[in-house]
Amino acid sequence: MLAERLGHAREEARFERRSTDIVATWGEDAPVSMESDEREQVGRRAVLGILEEVCESSPELKSDWFAVSTSRY
């Protein structure tokens, strides 16, 4: 249900369903001076914010059911 509600793109993020996972690619340009782990955290927070918005507008979904982590594919 979450994948359907997210769609393929929202704000600066793109979403793709892979098996049981939803892979998010955050596309905002972070400053080059920012460390890569800092950029990952900014992207993770942005995706988490999108997830929370989607769940708030969908009573059948609860944001605490889902985890958002950084991953390297």
Query: Per residue in 19-38, pLDDT tens?
Result: 888 888 876 655 566 677 78
In a domain, 23, yes or no: yes
In a domain, 30, yes or no: yes
Residue with the bigger pLDDT between 32 and 65: it is: 65
In a domain, 71, yes or no: no
pTM for the structure as a whole = 0.77
Report the domain count for the chain.
Answer: 1
What is the C-alpha separation between 11 and 54, in angstroms, rounded?
A: 12
Partners of 22 in beta bridges: 17
- Our separate counts of H helices and E strands in the chain read 2, 3
**Parent domain of 22:** 2-65
What is the C-alpha separation between 8 and 6, in angstroms, rounded?
A: 7
In a domain, 73, yes or no: no
Q: How far apart are the first and last CA of the chain?
A: 23
